[in-house]
Amino acid sequence: MSTRESRKMLMLAGATILVGWCGYLLVGRIHHATALRHDAEQAAVPDVMVIAPRREARHVSLDLPGTIEAWYQAPIYPQASGYVHMWYKDYGARVAAGDVLAEINTPGLDAQFAQAQADLQSSQAKYDLAVVTAQRWRLMGKSQAVSGQSVSVQDANEKSASADLEAARHNLDRYAALERFKVIVAPFDGVVTERDINVGDYVHEGGGNLNATGAASELFSVADTHQMRLFVSIPENMSYILQPGLHANVRVPQFPDRTFEAKFLTVSGGYDPDTRTSVSEFVIDNSDHALWPGTFAAVTLSAPEQAAHQSIPTGALVFQEHGMQVAVVDGQERAHFHDITVGRMGDGATQVLSGINPDDRIIDNPPADLLEGERVHVVQPAAGYSNDTDEKDDE
């Protein structure tokens, strides 16, 4: 082979290599552009996690705070002013109706009672004199010895004396009643929960000692604790569970291992506009007197659900101006927004009354920029981050 031919072969080989290298670079660029386009298309499709609606349990349970009060509780105030002579029942004393709690010395009332007795005697004497006088004038009137006008005056004097006598009797009865209030007695069987007097204290009619605000304090407070009243504020959307036969389980801090049963008694029949709750009242048997008035209670209410509804995580809700929606993934992996009607809403789950089907795939925590009909990519959540709604229904 000549030198010229060798040179041509080398040039041809170099050209072939150059063309091959350029082709390789071109193919690499095309492949890279295709990969970038594919990655961009994939990145434009949002990853979403879907959940299925869960059928609600047949029973609804509600935990609420409550307050336990006595069946009857009476603050006792004096009706007579004076000084405490002696008190006989202290805190926690068991008393029966009519038991003496305290005695009050009332020198001022005693003097008024004595004056009322004297006034009655004076009125009685004046009345007796008026009766005798009127009888004499009526006899003289029959014989025309005196004028008819004079007889009429004496009749009127008799009636006036009778009225004065009746008023004196009522006044004496009033002071006699007040005299009975010198002895403070228990109004019913119960326990003394407060004693706010001491020997020598001055108490005045209608109240005990004056406190720092100028208001009168009671002498004693007596509570009937054979049964207790439980007061619970029920939210507006749960008031339907308040019906005859409803029972509640009650726990109190002082007995952590004991549960008390409360029976529904009545409900206020109205809602507090500030809290949107209604005060309900339950009854607890307290024959062993374990519960005390004023106790905080943790109350658990359980009742049949009104109807079979679906529930979804609250995070799946889409808040729109016209109402609530959820984003549902169809068979073509595209998102569609459905209008729904919600019932009870909680931090974890929300009751859905209408707008979804049991087999819907609902996007949990949908992206804020998700559009109607947009394609989505359904992914499985990492372990520990799943909102498992496929719990079994309560029996």
Among the residue ranges 16-20, 114-118, 338-342, the one predicted with the least confidence is 16-20
Among the residue ranges 8-12, 235-239, 326-330, the one predicted with the least confidence is 8-12
Residue 389 scores a pLDDT above 50: no
Residue 393 scores a pLDDT above 50: no
- Name all domains of the chain by residue range, CATH numbers in brackets: 107-181 (1.10.287.470), 309-379 (2.40.420.20)
107-142 vs 148-180: helix axis angle to the nearest 10? 160
Between residues 141 and 363, which one has the greater pLDDT?
A: 363
Highest mean pLDDT among 5-19, 113-127, 344-358, 374-388: 113-127
Q: For position 142, what pLDDT does the model report?
A: 75
User: Mean of the pLDDT values across residues 289-308?
Assistant: 84
Closest to 260 in 3D by CA, of 242, 286, 241: 286
User: Mean of the pLDDT values across residues 339-364?
Assistant: 81
pTM of the model: 0.60
232 close to 299: Cβ distance less than 8 angstroms: yes
Residues 74-118 pLDDT 10s: 999 888 888 999 999 999 999 999 999 999 999 988 899 999 999
Residues 191-214 pLDDT 10s: 999 998 899 988 887 665 555 454
Average pLDDT of the chain to the nearest whole number: 83
Which of the four pLDDT bands, split at 50, 70 and 90, describes residue 143?
confident
Residue 6 scores a pLDDT above 90: no
What letter would DSSP give residue 2? -
Q: Are strands 47-51 and 377-378 parallel, antiparallel or unpaired?
A: parallel
User: In sequence order, what are the residues at sequence separation of 6 or more whose Cβ sits closer than 8 angstroms to the Cβ of residue 207?
Assistant: 77, 78, 215, 216, 217, 218
C-alpha torsion sign, points 280, 281, 282, 284: positive
Query: What are phi and psi for residue 197, nearest 5 degrees?
Result: -130, 160
Which of the four pLDDT bands, split at 50, 70 and 90, describes residue 44?
low
Sheet holding 82-87, edge to edge: 183-185, 100-105, 82-87, 202-203
Residues in the chain: 395
How far apart are the C-alpha atoms of 230 and 67, rounded to whole Å?
Answer: 6
Q: From the CB of residue 75, how many other CB atoms can be counted at a distance below 10 Å?
A: 14
Residues 224-272 pLDDT 10s: 999 999 999 998 877 877 878 788 999 999 999 999 999 999 999 899 8
Closest to 47 in 3D by CA, of 324, 333, 358: 333
Which of the four pLDDT bands, split at 50, 70 and 90, describes residue 291?
very high
Residue 347 scores a pLDDT above 80: no
How far apart are the C-alpha atoms of 252 and 271, rounded to whole Å?
Answer: 26
282 close to 264: Cβ distance less than 8 angstroms: yes
Q: For position 35, what pLDDT does the model report?
A: 63
Which of the four pLDDT bands, split at 50, 70 and 90, describes residue 394?
very low
197 close to 209: Cβ distance less than 8 angstroms: yes
